[in-house]
Chains A and B, each alone.
Chain A
Amino acid sequence: MDVLEVKDLTTHFFMHEAVARAVENVSFTLKKGETLGLAGESGCGKTTTALSIMKLLPPGGRILNGEIILDEEDLVKKTDREMKDIRWKKVSIVFQGAMNALNPVIRVGNQVAEAIIEKENVTKGEALRRAGSLFELVGLDSSRVTNYPHEFSGGMRQRVMIAMALACNPTVVIADEPVTALDVVVQTRILELLKELQRKLSLSVILITHDLSVIAETCDRVAIMYAGKIVELGNVVDVYKKPLHPYTEALITAFPSIAGEKRRFSSIPGDPPDLTSPPSGCRFHPRCPWQDETCRTQDPEYRSVGLDHYVACHPTERLRAKLRGERV
């Protein structure tokens, strides 16, 4: 069952002299209880996609087209006021680097309680009690609600942020780079916590990260974004083992690993494009070794090519051979 459906989402940023086409025609669904990875390099539109779903775009950001269906309601059509009842209650987000955004002079329990009071009509005592049980849920001792942020390590602060995101029992949680600044041992624990919470509360999670290793170990499906578009989406094993899009293929086969055979990678030439003037046709074509005339002029359609596997690449001989399972 799909809990969230994003259809043809297009979000642009209107700046002084230019328009950045940050997200264009992005479509995906999120199933109940699954973790969907949203991967890509900086500026590919993964965070903008998340902020569009939350309707928390920074100034200049506007959703121009598309639908975001959550609980049979289109969030795009919701007013700010209506979004207040949806945000945190139905869909919440753990922001990138948010663990450093806790107020240093307020006890963490009060900060969590404040968030609960803001959303629900409860007394302060009740909110604090709930903060305590949320702490237990994320693996912190409930007595620590009276501590200040500096008494917590980075990993523990991230747990507090997760507790806050869960405060109003949302069905969908978006985690934007939740482990990026943490040491690997702590990373593992936070990712395991997310998995455990997901099972316990049957949450649906969108995990945003640039780290393909983190996605490989935690996600059921993955959407690879490039320059504001999803270029490929599918279950992680299909996408990692039989990547169809040339960008996915180059990215995944050239990601350093501590396991497997040691070899020299070939790199993708060039840089990601400036989204105020993206390339014509396929946005990846200037860096693609397979590009031809069609790629330079026509934007490839994002289409289904197998069981829950989508790709946005022209049906060239290469792609057809790949789909037949041949090595190219």
Chain B
Amino acid sequence: MLSVENLSVWFPARRGVTGIFTRKEEWVRAVDDVSFNVRKGEVMCLAGESGSGKTTTARAILALTRAKSGSIEFAGRDVLSLSQTELRKLRCKMQIIFQDPYESIDPRMSVLEILAEPLEVNRVAGGRREREDRVYKALEDVRLLPPREFARRFPHELSGGQRQRVAIARGLVLQPELLVADEPVSMLDASIRVQILNLLLDLREEYDLTFLYITHDLAQARYIGNDIVIMYLGKMMESGPVEDVVAKPVHPYSRALISNVPVPDPTLKRDKIAVRGETPSASDVPSGCRFHPRCPYAEEICKTREPKFLPVAGNRYSACHFNDRWTAQTPIQ
């Protein structure tokens, strides 16, 4: 359904005073050579810490951010070569849900207006009656019942969870095939979080929807996802079925990351892999493997040669010079 190949998104770095004289081009390599496929009806998770490029990847897929190179194929069409008009049409088929439901919906509009807007802008559902019917249907889909009553309300009359349901309904009202969800539950409380995650899983069932789910929280990714791509500083480190990756990560970065995720069970004592330092800035990417300055197993080659993203088994890939060593230590399927 969605195929991303060698996608790179570079932003020009703000140049300081010296930059004006040296005329040196500097780039923030926010996303570098990212490739993955999303099958119809699956939840693909893009996971990583802040600055890993997961949100930029998603924005590039929706053509909200210009890609520097690579190709994005969605529903058989090349997203990067489309005209504005064609793009607008295609965007009806891929919608996005943002993180903060307090910022993503206009507080001065009623729920009905918020949900009718995409229909008007894209000139689908001609008459007013038809538009309203589609709005009510979307509200039913997100279980805001009775829909006619919720349609009249304004955002300040809704709880955080209900607002996020409205944001999801806005994503659904155009009946898209792909829903990009960027940290959709990170601002919500634990009891509301599960409600929304379950709602997304139900919607996937009901409409055979495909999700690109962006999160920094691997526990969430495991709960909702089928496949996962773990990113670090704009690069893919590891990918594969979530359950397998979380149980037996291959790449030293994913191993460290997963070992450090706290678990809500005080009787479970897990060994945590220590990692030096913190994620460097994307404008100053380390040479060779980007993780090498922090990697506990880095060797000479890691400083100079960038590892390729290679298959390690089945549907699993990892970008480490020593993939064989890690798979030999913990045999994976």
Chain A interface residues toward B at CB < 8 A: 41-42, 153-155, 183-189, 210-214, 216-217, 236-237, 240-241, 250-252, 254-260, 262, 264-269, 271-272, 287
B264 touches A241 (CB 8 A): no
6 pairs, A vs B, C-beta closer than 8 Å: A41-B192, A212-B190, A237-B266, A254-B194, A257-B265, A265-B223
B256, CB-defined interface residue at 8 Å: yes
B315, CB-defined interface residue at 8 Å: no
Complex CA gap A326/B243 in Å reads 32
Complex CA gap A210/B185 in Å reads 14
A-side contacts of B50, CB under 8 Å: 183
Selected contact of A185 from candidates B162, B192, B217, B257, CB within 8 Å:
B257
Which residue on A lies nearest to B199, using beta carbons?
Answer: A267
B194 touches A183 (CB 8 A): no
Assuming the A-B contacts A183-B278, A210-B190, A256-B220, are A267 and B198 also in contact, with contact meaning beta carbons closer than 8 angstroms in the complex? yes
B258, CB-defined interface residue at 8 Å: yes
Assuming the A-B contacts A42-B189, A254-B194, are A216 and B265 also in contact, with contact meaning beta carbons closer than 8 angstroms in the complex? yes
Selected contact of A183 from candidates B49, B159, B192, CB within 8 Å:
B49
Complex CA gap A272/B195 in Å reads 13
Which residue on B lies nearest to A192, using beta carbons?
Answer: B272
A-side contacts of B193, CB under 8 Å: 256
Which of A42, A250, A269, A271 has the most B CB atoms < 10 Å from its CB?
A271
State how many angstroms separate the Cβ of A276 from the closest Cβ of chain B.
Answer: 14
Assuming the A-B contacts A256-B220, A267-B198, are A188 and B264 also in contact, with contact meaning beta carbons closer than 8 angstroms in the complex? no
A257 touches B264 (CB 8 A): yes
Complex CA gap A255/B217 in Å reads 12
Selected contact of B263 from candidates A254, A257, A262, CB within 8 Å:
A257
State how many angstroms separate the Cβ of B240 from the closest Cβ of chain A.
Answer: 15
B198 touches A271 (CB 8 A): no
A-side contacts of B261, CB under 8 Å: 184, 213, 258
Which of A184, A241, A252, A255 has the most B CB atoms < 10 Å from its CB?
A184
A255 touches B190 (CB 8 A): yes
3 smallest A-B Cβ distances: which pairs?
A213-B262, A41-B189, A267-B194
B219, CB-defined interface residue at 8 Å: yes
Selected contact of B268 from candidates A42, A252, A256, A259, CB within 8 Å:
A259
Selected contact of B264 from candidates A216, A267, A269, CB within 8 Å:
A216
Which residue on A lies nearest to B160, using beta carbons?
Answer: A271
Which residue on B lies nearest to A43, using beta carbons?
Answer: B189
What is the size, in residues, of chain B's interface with A at 8 Å between Cβ atoms? 44
B69, CB-defined interface residue at 8 Å: no
Complex CA gap A255/B194 in Å reads 8
Assuming the A-B contacts A256-B220, A264-B198, are A154 and B278 also in contact, with contact meaning beta carbons closer than 8 angstroms in the complex? yes
A-side contacts of B257, CB under 8 Å: 184-185
A-side contacts of B278, CB under 8 Å: 153-155, 183, 185-186
B267 touches A217 (CB 8 A): no
A-side contacts of B162, CB under 8 Å: 271
B201, CB-defined interface residue at 8 Å: yes
Selected contact of B265 from candidates A187, A214, A259, CB within 8 Å:
A259
B-side contacts of A213, CB under 8 Å: 219, 261-264
A184 touches B264 (CB 8 A): no
**Known contacts A216-B264, A271-B162, then 16 further A-B pairs from the complex at CB < 8 Å, ordered by chain A residue:** A183-B50, A184-B49, A184-B261, A185-B260, A210-B190, A212-B264, A216-B265, A254-B194, A256-B219, A262-B222, A262-B243, A265-B194, A265-B198, A266-B194, A267-B194, A268-B195
B-side contacts of A266, CB under 8 Å: 194
B191, CB-defined interface residue at 8 Å: yes
Selected contact of A252 from candidates B159, B264, B279, CB within 8 Å:
B264
Complex CA gap A268/B188 in Å reads 13
Selected contact of A237 from candidates B190, B220, B267, CB within 8 Å:
B267
B190 touches A41 (CB 8 A): yes
B275, CB-defined interface residue at 8 Å: yes
B-side contacts of A259, CB under 8 Å: 263, 265, 268, 270
Which of A255, A256, A259, A268 has the most B CB atoms < 10 Å from its CB?
A256
B218, CB-defined interface residue at 8 Å: yes
A256 touches B222 (CB 8 A): yes
B-side contacts of A42, CB under 8 Å: 189
Complex CA gap A237/B246 in Å reads 25
Which residue on B lies nearest to A184, using beta carbons?
Answer: B260
B265 touches A258 (CB 8 A): no
B307, CB-defined interface residue at 8 Å: no
Which of B194, B197, B256, B274 has the most A CB atoms < 10 Å from its CB?
B194
A41 touches B191 (CB 8 A): yes
State how many angstroms separate the Cβ of A131 from the closest Cβ of chain B.
Answer: 22
B118, CB-defined interface residue at 8 Å: no
Assuming the A-B contacts A184-B257, A217-B266, A265-B198, are A257 and B189 also in contact, with contact meaning beta carbons closer than 8 angstroms in the complex? no
A-side contacts of B222, CB under 8 Å: 256-258, 262
State how many angstroms separate the Cβ of A267 from the closest Cβ of chain B.
Answer: 4
A-side contacts of B286, CB under 8 Å: none
B-side contacts of A255, CB under 8 Å: 190, 219, 264
State how many angstroms separate the Cβ of A241 from the closest Cβ of chain B.
Answer: 7
Selected contact of A236 from candidates B189, B219, B266, CB within 8 Å:
B266
B-side contacts of A185, CB under 8 Å: 49, 256-257, 260, 275, 278
Complex CA gap A265/B267 in Å reads 21
State how many angstroms separate the Cβ of B252 from the closest Cβ of chain A.
Answer: 12
B161, CB-defined interface residue at 8 Å: yes
Complex CA gap A211/B193 in Å reads 12
Which residue on B lies nearest to A235, using beta carbons?
Answer: B266
B198 touches A258 (CB 8 A): no
Complex CA gap A240/B266 in Å reads 7
